[in-house]
């Protein structure tokens, strides 16, 4: 089964419902949790959607499983391959394991140990190439051509977008009167899926994208009117959000459904991670905490019932200690 998309190239509510049926009983339906400390401080109800509780420790399982489920038996049997900064790779490795097929993952040489170990533990064959999306994609396409594997895009695909969008559906089902949703922007799979679902189900809600200052690929695309490439190889703490270019389909969806986009400095991420750990007992990786950081930094003024999507929690103990072990207590 493939996502149908409308005449505009946008996924439809039926695409989202189809993905939700595929994922029912397979993906974790993560809860909405109220953050009392922030609610009191900001004067409006603040909730988090903790996707670190998802299989593989991040939202990526939703899209990867939906894509693999939609492949023909012949395409699945060839084995699957992807390029990933880490979380999509783990997600695909798990989806492949559940379908009993082989998975090959190309990750950057700088991939955090938690993400690398997770993919290996799930039985994936792993390669490590360069530090940019372009470098690892080139290596993945080289292996795909040599071995006849099926490529699973990390974000620029309607099945991936619809799978990630089930997260937004759950927000609207659990909080029908939601007013504001904050979601991280990397390559655009999560943000385009969530924005589509929220606007189709709760059109009154604002959806705001959050990017790291070091890789404002959607902000740049919005200014240019089309996807553009970040000029320098981006670096920063939020390794899962350092794509150098927003996906083409993702840009179309975000242009249609996203209300605003803000950027957040690296310096705000450890504080957000520490708040989530101290107050919520949730471990978030830097990318996963960026929506909370946007509130703490005042980059977004929350209006009404506000949901922050926490995209993942794949960080190892040493990495967590290095970031927040000696930090100040969050105020």
What is the chain's mean pLDDT, rounded?
A: 93
pLDDT at 164 over 90: yes
Shared fold status for 13-58+157-324 and 60-151 = yes
Fold for the domain defined by 13-58+157-324: Rossmann fold (3.40.50)
Between 133 and 1, residue with greater pLDDT: 133
DSSP code string of 92-155: HHHHHHHHT--EEEEE-TT--HHHHHHHHHTT-EEEE--SSHHHHHHHHHHHHHHHTPEE--SS
56/254 Cα distance (integer angstroms): 26
Q: How many CB atoms lie within 10 A of CB 304?
A: 13
186/238 Cα distance (integer angstroms): 9
Listed in order, strand segments (DSSP E) in the chain are 33-34, 46-50, 80-83, 103-107, 125-128, 150-151, 180-184, 206-212, 260-264, 306-310
List the catalytic residues.
60, 311
Under 8 Å CB-to-CB from 32, ≥6 apart: which residues?
A: 47, 48, 49, 171, 174, 175, 307
Tokens of 324: 């927040």
pLDDT at 188 over 90: yes
Q: Are strands 206-212 and 260-264 parallel, antiparallel or unpaired?
A: parallel
Under 8 Å CB-to-CB from 41, ≥6 apart: which residues?
A: none
Could you give phi then psi for residue 260, rounded to 5 degrees?
-165, 165
Of the candidates 61, 47, 49, the one whose C-alpha atom is nearest the C-alpha of residue 304 is 47
Of the candidates 6, 40, 55, the one whose C-alpha atom is nearest the C-alpha of residue 256 is 6
**Helix 60-69 vs helix 13-23: angle between axes, to the nearest 10 degrees?**
90
For the stretch 37-92, pLDDT in tens is: 899 999 999 999 999 999 999 999 999 999 999 999 999 999 999 998 888 999 99
pLDDT given at position 133 = 80
Q: How many CB atoms lie within 10 A of CB 48?
A: 27
Q: How many CB atoms lie within 10 A of CB 96?
A: 26
| High-pLDDT (> 90) share of the chain, % | 81
pLDDT at 6 over 60: no
pLDDT given at position 8 = 65
pLDDT at 329 over 70: no
Could you give phi then psi for residue 107, rounded to 5 degrees?
-120, 160
Domain boundaries, given as residue ranges, for the chain? 13-58+157-324, 60-151
pLDDT given at position 15 = 98
What is the model's pTM?
0.92
User: What is the arithmetic mean of pLDDT over 87-116?
Assistant: 92
pLDDT at 326 over 90: no
pLDDT given at position 204 = 96
pLDDT given at position 86 = 83
Q: CATH second-level architecture of 60-151? A: 3-Layer(aba) Sandwich (3.40)
Could you give phi then psi for residue 307, rounded to 5 degrees?
-115, 125
SS3 call for 259: coil
pLDDT at 298 over 90: yes
pLDDT given at position 7 = 57
For the stretch 215-241, pLDDT in tens is: 999 999 999 999 999 987 788 999 889
Of the candidates 147, 192, 137, 187, the one whose C-alpha atom is nearest the C-alpha of residue 167 is 192
Residue recorded with tokens 């509130």: 295
């Amino acid at each position: 089964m493939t996502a149908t998309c409308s005449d505009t190239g946008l996924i439809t509510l039926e695409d989202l419902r189809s993905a939700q049926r595929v994922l029912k009983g397979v993906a974790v339906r993560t809860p909405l949790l109220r953050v009392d400390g922030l609610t009191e401080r900001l004067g409006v109800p603040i909730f988090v959607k903790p996707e670190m509780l998802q299989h593989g420790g991040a939202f990526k399982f939703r899209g990867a499983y939906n894509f693999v489920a939609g492949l023909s038996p012949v395409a699945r049997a060839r084995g699957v391959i992807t390029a990933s900064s880490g979380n999509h790779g783990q997600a695909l490795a798990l989806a492949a394991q559940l379908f009993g097929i082989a998975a090959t993952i190309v990750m950057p040489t700088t991939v955090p140990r938690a993400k690398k170990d997770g993919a290996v533990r799930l039985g994936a064959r792993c390669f490590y190439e360069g530090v940019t999306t372009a470098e690892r994609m080139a290596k993945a396409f080289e292996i795909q051509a040599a071995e006849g594997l099926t490529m699973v895009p990390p974000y620029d695909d309607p099945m991936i977008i619809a799978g990630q969008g089930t997260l937004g559906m759950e927000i609207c089902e659990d909080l029908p009167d939601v007013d504001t949703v904050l979601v991280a922007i990397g390559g655009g799979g999560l943000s385009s899926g969530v924005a589509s679902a929220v606007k189709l189900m709760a059109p009154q809600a604002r959806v705001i994208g959050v990017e790291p200052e070091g890789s404002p690929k959607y902000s740049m695309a919005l200014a240019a009117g089309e996807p553009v490439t970040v000029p320098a190889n981006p670096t920063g703490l939020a390794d899962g959000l350092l794509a150098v270019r927003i996906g083409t389909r993702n840009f179309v969806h975000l242009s249609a459904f996203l209300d605003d986009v803000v950027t957040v400095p690296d310096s705000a991420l450890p504080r957000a991670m520490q708040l989530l750990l101290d107050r919520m007992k949730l471990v978030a990786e830097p990318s996963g905490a960026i929506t909370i950081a946007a509130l703490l930094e005042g980059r977004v003024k929350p209006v009404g019932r506000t949901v922050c999507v926490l995209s993942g929690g794949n960080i190892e103990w040493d990495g967590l200690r290095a970031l927040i072990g000696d930090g100040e207590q969050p105020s």
